[in-house]
Each structure stands twice: as C-alpha cells, then as structure tokens.
C-alpha cells in the first residue's frame, strides 16, 4: 500500500489532551499535518478535549493518532520519537498548576524539567538533530519576582515556585541543545492564556464556572485567593498559532507571547458577573473581603438576590510565594513574525461564561428530571 502520510509534515505533541494541546492539534490538522499526541494512562477517559478530532484508528490514513506515554518515561519517549520521526515536536505536557507544584515539587521537577531533557536527548540520540524541530512551552512564571515591566525576552528571571524553577531548567536546556547540537529548538515564553477549555482550577475558569454555577443555584459561593494579582491574559487559540509560527522561521529564536495589557483577578470576576447580568460590590479588607450582589439585570441568575455574598477569600488559595504582577511585551513577535493577538480578554471571558452556562444548565435540567448530577467545586 502506498503510504501518502509520510509526505505530510508530521508533528508530535506532548500534552495533547490539555488546553493548548487540543487547540494546537486542531490547528495542525487544518494545515494538513499528520498529528501524533501523547496521552497518559488514566483510570477514566481523559481525552474529552480531543474527542471531536479523534479518528477511528481503523480508518486508512487517519491523521490524528494518540499514543500512551509519559514525560517521566525515557524509553517510551525515545521509542515514540524513533517510530514517528517527527518534523516538529511541541512539548506542551507538564504538571502545569503553580499552586500544586508546591504540593508535588519533585514530580513537577521531573516532568516539567527533566521531561524536556528526555525529549531533547532522544532527538540527539536518534540522530534527528537536523530533522526535528522542537518547541518548548516556557512561561511568564520564569519572571516571577519581576525586575522590569513590561517583561521581554531580555528581562532577568526570578522563578517563585517549584513549577517555575522546573520550567527554568527546561528553558535553559532547550537553549543549550540549540547551542551545543544545532537543534532547531526554541522557547515560547507565553503569558497566561485561557479559553473555555482551560482547566477548571485555574483562576479564570474557576471564576466563569463558579459564578455560572452560583447564578443557577449549583454552588453557594466562590472562594478565592489573591484577587489583587495582576495578569496579562490572552486566548489560547491565538497563542497556539504562534507556537507553530515559531517553528517555521529560518533560525530558531525565543519569543515572549503576550497581549501587553494586564488586569486584576478582581476585574475578571466583575467581567464574568457582568455577563450574567450581576453587579458585584466588594467590601472589607484582606481575608475578610467579600463580594456581594448589588444589582441584577435579566434572567440569567435566577438563584440570586440582591445582598447575597458570592465571593469570599480563603487563605488556602494563597501561595507560599506569589507572583503579584505579570505584563508581557510582545514587540519581538509582532515585528519578526507579524503575530498579534486577535481575541480581546473581555470577549474571551464572555465566551467562557457562555460555555460554562450551557454546562450548568444541562446539570439543572438533568436534576429537574430526577437525575442526580454531582458538581465538583474543589478549586
Ligand atoms: P494543561 O494543564 O491544560 O495541559 C497539560 C497537559 O500535560 C495535559 O495533556 C496533561 O495530561 C499533560 N501531562 C501532565 N503530566 C504529564 C506527564 N507526566 N506526562 C505526559 N503528559 C503530561 O496545560 P496548558 O494546555 O494550559 O499548557 C500547556 C503547556 O504550556 C504546559 O507546559 C504549561 O506549563 C505551559 N504554559 C501554559 C500557559 C497557560 O497560560 N496556559 C502559559 C505558559 C506556559 P492530562 O490531560 O492527562 O492531565
Ligand atoms: P498562574 O495561573 O499561576 O498564573 O499559572 P492561575 O490561573 O492559577 O493563577 C493566576 C493568579 O490568580 C491568583 N488566584 C488564584 N488562582 C487560582 N488558581 N485559584 C484561586 O482561587 C485564585 N485566587 C487568586 C493566583 O494566586 C495567581 O496570582 C498559569 C498556568 O497556566 C501556568 O502553567 C503558566 O505557566 C502560567 O499561567 C503563565
């Protein structure tokens, strides 16, 4: 049988079941790539973000393939790269939650830090240095305790969590394999990016999902950590496009990817509430601060009345070391690659609330028909 698939560009994505991995897989398939993704073995199905692009493996020339694997498993990664011989590897897999990295620091170091080395070493060991291009999912968390604003490619790093320290290793080992072995390897230093597919425990999704659940009576209150924290939020769809663009240049280079505008977590809460027709007013200070419903417009929040407390502070969500402010300068990406983000943060927030509202409505309807539907609320 004539195998036309080898003529296509082939990509391998670690973290394909995550937010970015799912959007990137869609993007590359639309560009005609053969896409291989690594998924972890789990006791439940964990492919909900990519189920819509999954192709039956019995279909001839299926262009999207999933393989079991793990960034902690050298032989597994090496075997997959040997068999696939990818033109491009996108290393998006990670224990990506900053707060969780304080609970599981060693695991985070192994997967996020050494996992990157395992992939680069496999490329080198297999003699694919001239063939396989490598993208590393680096992060604005590298800046941590920021020394200049906005942060650009030359801003010094000061990581503030086991996650960020692990990613610092990954950043430098990527630079090192580029310099030492001539591998086309580059870092995208991405600032926070979100979407309806964002994990439920990251702050934006926790807010959009939490407030819609509260509006429909599925949760009593949103418990938050540091709501004064400032972030530069973009949309994941815009950011995965840039991941691909970075691997299409003549020379590998590292880029900051950001919008250049920052807002507080508190502001994001207000936007999400506005989408539901609710006005929230904050009062009190520190851990005693609360957010109350001050006005209600429309019919999207039938479970609420004026005066209800819908936001409280829970110190459990404070981090041992916080990154208070992040603001990126995407000038290099704009000038060299012509990249500009297309989706505004307020529109993204509206999209996230709309999707979470649909999901919450489904639960309400099922409950009305006597079906017990548990709702996870642990943030
Ligand atoms: P997600 O948490 O949504 O996805 C992470 C992915 O990594 C999931 O597919 C997860 O699998 C997989 N994974 C976790 N541990 C392992 C492991 N041991 N071996 C193999 N795969 C593993 O993250 P995002 O999509 O938001 O982010 C993608 C990458 O970009 C991450 O590396 C993150 O650190 C980085 N980043 C993200 C930013 C953001 O704002 N989103 C900003 C800057 C960097 P499973 O589905 O089974 O959990
Ligand atoms: P971050 O994202 O730590 O920036 O890492 P997250 O959304 O978790 O936090 C952003 C800010 O919000 C504050 N915050 C809360 N955060 C969470 N998760 N839950 C809360 O209840 C809460 N209350 C306030 C946080 O303290 C923080 O200041 C994300 C991840 O995607 C990383 O993988 C990625 O590298 C960086 O973005 C860029």
Query: Is 139 an annotated catalytic residue?
Result: yes
| Catalytic residue (choose from 88, 121, 129, 141) | 141
The active-site residue out of 14, 116, 132, 139 is 139
* 8 A C-beta contact, residue 93 and residue 14: yes
Dist CA 376 CA 48 (whole Å): 17
Rounded Cα gap, residues 27 and 247, in angstroms:
14
Decide yes or no: CATH 3.40.50.920 for domain 203-230+264-324+345-368.
no
Structure tokens given for 185: 């390897």
Q: What is the pTM of this model?
A: 0.97
Q: What confidence category does residue 6 fall into, taking pLDDT thresholds of 50, 70 and 90?
A: low
Ligand 1, from 18, 167, 236: best to mutate by most atoms within 8 Å of Cβ? Answer: 18
Q: What is the pLDDT of residues 192-246, one digit of tens each?
A: 999 999 999 999 999 999 999 999 999 999 999 999 999 999 999 999 999 999 9
Decide yes or no: CATH 3.40.50.720 for domain 4-190: yes
The pLDDT assigned to 3 comes to 47
Please list, in sequence order, all residues whose beta carbon lies within 8 angstroms of the beta carbon of residue 236, skipping any fewer than 6 positions away.
19, 20, 23, 193, 194, 195, 197, 198
Is 163 assigned a catalytic role?
yes
ipTM rounded to 2 decimals: 0.99
Evaluate the CA torsion angle 94, 326, 184, 197 in order and state its sign.
positive
**pLDDT tens digits, 326-347:** 999 999 999 999 999 999 999 9
CA 14 / ligand 1 centre spacing (Å): 8
Are the CB atoms for 340 and 163 separated by under 8 Å? no
Q: Residue ranges of the domains in the chain?
A: 4-190, 203-230+264-324+345-368
Residue 236 has a pLDDT of 98
Residue 284: pLDDT over 90: yes
What is the Å distance from ligand 2's center to 202 Cα? 6
Of 337, 344, 353, 350, nearest in space to 238 by CA: 344
**Which residues lie closer than 8 Å to 170 by C-beta, 6 or more apart?**
91, 112, 113, 115, 116, 117, 136, 138
The sign one gets for the Cα dihedral 259, 261, 265, 270 is negative
Residue 151 and residue 260: Cα distance in Å, rounded? 9
Tokens found for residue 286? 């520190």
Nearest ligand to the C-alpha atom of residue 195: 1
Q: Is residue 186 packed enough to be buried (19+ CB in 10 Å), middle (13-18) or exposed (0-12)? A: buried
* Residue nearest atom 3 in ligand 1 by C-alpha distance: 18
pLDDT digits (tens, 9 = 90+) for 344-367: 999 999 999 999 999 999 999 999
For the Cβ of 101 lying below 6 angstroms from any atom of ligand 1, the answer is no
Residue 105: count of CB within 10 angstroms of its CB: 16
38-62 burial, b if ≥16 CB within 10 A, otherwise e? bbeeeeeeebebbeebeeeeeeeee
Q: Is 91 helix (H, G, I), strand (E, B) or coil?
A: strand
End-to-end CA distance of the chain: 51
Mean pLDDT, the chain, as a whole number? 96
| Residue 1 scores a pLDDT above 70 | no
């Amino acid at each position: 049988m004539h195998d036309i698939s080898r003529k296509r560009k082939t990509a391998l994505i670690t973290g394909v079941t995550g937010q970015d991995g799912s959007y990137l897989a869609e993007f590359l398939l639309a560009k005609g790539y053969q896409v291989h993704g690594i998924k972890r073995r789990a006791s439940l199905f964990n492919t909900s973000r990519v189920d819509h692009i999954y192709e039956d493996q019995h279909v001839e020339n299926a262009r999207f393939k999933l393989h079991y694997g793990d960034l902690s498993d050298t032989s597994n990664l090496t075997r997959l790269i040997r068999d696939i011989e990818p033109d491009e590897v996108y290393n998006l897999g990670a224990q990506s939650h900053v707060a969780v990295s304080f609970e599981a620091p060693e695991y985070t170091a192994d997967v996020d830090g050494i996992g990157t080395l395992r992939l680069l070493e496999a490329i080198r060991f297999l003699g694919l240095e001239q063939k396989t291009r490598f993208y590393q999912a680096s992060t604005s968390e590298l800046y941590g305790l920021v020394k200049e604003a906005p942060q650009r490619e030359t801003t010094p790093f000061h990581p503030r969590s086991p996650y960020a320290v692990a990613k610092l290793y990954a950043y430098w080992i990527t630079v090192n394999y580029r310099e030492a072995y001539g591998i086309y390897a580059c870092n995208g230093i991405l600032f926070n990016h979100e979407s309806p597919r964002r994990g439920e425990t990251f702050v934006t999704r926790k807010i959009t999902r939490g407030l819609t659940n509260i509006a429909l009576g599925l949760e009593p209150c949103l418990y938050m950590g540091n709501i004064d924290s400032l972030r530069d939020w973009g949309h994941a769809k815009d950011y995965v496009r840039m991941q691909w663009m970075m691997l299409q240049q003549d020379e590998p280079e590292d880029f900051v990817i950001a919008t250049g505008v920052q807002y507080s977590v508190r502001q994001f809460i207000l936007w999400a509430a506005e989408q539901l027709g609710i006005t929230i007013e904050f009062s009190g200070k520190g851990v005693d601060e609360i957010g109350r419903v001050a006005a209600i417009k429309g019919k999207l929040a039938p479970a609420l009345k004026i005066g209800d407390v819908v936001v409280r502070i829970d110190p459990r969500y404070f981090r041992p070391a916080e990154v208070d402010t992040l603001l990126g300068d995407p000038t290099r990406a704009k000038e060299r690659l012509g990249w500009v983000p297309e989706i505004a943060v307020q529109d993204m927030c509206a999209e996230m609330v709309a999707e979470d509202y649909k999901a919450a409505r489904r639960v309400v309807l099922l409950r009305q028909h006597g079906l017990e539907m548990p709702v996870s609320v642990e943030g």
